Structure 1
Amino acid sequence: MSDEDSFTRMFEDHYEAVLRYAWRRVGPADAPDITAETFKIAWEKYERLPREHPLPWLYATARNLMLNLIRRDNRRDALAGPLGEGLTHHCAEADHATAVVARQTALAALNSLSEDDRELVLLMSWEGLDLREAAKVVGCSRPTAAMRLHRARKRLRRLLGEEPQTVAARQPSCQGNAV
């Protein structure tokens, strides 16, 4: 099979996954461009691409492109001044009930994580990568990713009010109850 045929097969196998990944992070306006640029770079570097499991590499490339886009947008917004700030902030309408509050709470908890920890959680939960693949995307070792994931999940549980109480906190105090 030629490189062109092999690349075409990889493109067909992974295009939708990379597009969904980008869409969830930068939205529908920029996701197709990020995806196209990701595969352009993949074609240019195809000889060095991991052939057996290219998806983590594709995600890492898309992530770098998205970070560049975000930096560019931040620079543009900083130049736009106060007018730009008013245009870039969106707020939820008060008409939406509990679902909006729950979603906003979950997003706030997720956004409280560092960028790399948030990316690690999203890669594993939304993209379905295993720990080794997610670690490769964020550029750390598997043990480091495991520790960061553990801490991130613990923090999310605490922020969402799902942290289990300790045994001592659940048991009533027996002080002053002489038997």
Structure 2
Amino acid sequence: MGPPEKRDEGWFNSLYAADYAHIVRYGLRRLADSEASAELAQEVFVVAWRRRGEVPDRSLPWLYGVARRLLANQWRSRRTAPDVVPITAAELTRVADSSGADTSVGIADVRAALATLGDLDQEILRLIGWEELTVSEAAQVLGCTRATAAVRLHRARRRLSEAMSDRPVPSRRPVLATTREDL
């Protein structure tokens, strides 16, 4: 079987290969640039190596939790709000519904509504929607019970829906009726 260090190296190499890209994407969705998200991923895997005895078999939610705590520590140390990831033109063109209709306005509206929500609401929605975690896995990331995560998700979805319905609908200019006297 080999020395424990060799087994640890093999385990870590397979963990890194399987989950590195997921952690980088997690960072990209929360940070302004790819370099910062790659640095975040490196920090996450340093923690995973140091705490390798604590990493569960289903490691991705655990790694997301580490990334979330690292980001929270960075943001607290800067004492500023996290950077908002801008919507890129490439991202907008990737998203079209099955009819081929442009849905970029919908994406911008969802992102704007999401930005009005609190941090916990945004995080639970991102974990479920972007990271495609189950409610149980999101609970692990957030450090709460499954029931608490389910309630947070329900409330966050309701708040997002309310924020979306509060979005002003583009109004058309009123058409003024003309009469014969106006002509």
Decide whether the 8 Å contact of 1:117 with 1:152 is kept in 2: yes
AA aligned opposite 2:12: F
Higher helix fraction (1 or 2): 1
CA RMSD of aligned residues (A): 2.8
Q: TM-score, normalised by structure 1?
A: 0.72
Q: Deviations over 1:87-134 (max 9, x none)?
A: x89999xxxxx9776444322321222212211110111011000000
- Whole-angstrom CA distance in 1 between matches of 2:120 and 2:67: 14
Decide whether the 8 Å contact of 1:26 with 1:66 is kept in 2: no
1:54 alignment partner, one of 42, 55, 59: 59
Q: How far apart are residue 148 of structure 1 and its match?
A: 1.1
2:145 is the counterpart of 1:141: yes
AA aligned opposite 2:52: Y
Counterpart position of 2:26: 21
User: Structure 1 residues 65 and 91, CA, compared in 2 at 3 Å: closer, same or farther?
Assistant: closer
- Whole-angstrom CA distance in 2 between matches of 1:131 and 1:3: 30
User: Structure 1 residues 91 and 140, CA, compared in 2 at 3 Å: closer, same or farther?
Assistant: closer
AA aligned opposite 2:138: A
2:156 is the counterpart of 1:152: yes
- Whole-angstrom CA distance in 2 between matches of 1:89 and 1:65: 17
2:42 is the counterpart of 1:36: yes
Q: Deviations over 1:151-176 (max 9, x none)?
A: 111111122129xxxxxxxxxxxxxx
2:69 is the counterpart of 1:64: yes
User: Structure 1 residues 30 and 107, CA, compared in 2 at 3 Å: closer, same or farther?
Assistant: same
Decide whether the 8 Å contact of 1:117 with 1:149 is kept in 2: yes
2:123 is the counterpart of 1:122: no
Counterpart position of 1:74: 79
3-state SS, counterpart of residue 53 of structure 2: helix
Q: Unpaired runs of 5+ in structure 2?
A: 2-6, 88-101, 167-183
Q: Unpaired runs of 5+ in structure 1?
A: 78-87, 93-97, 163-179
3-state SS, counterpart of residue 48 of structure 1: coil
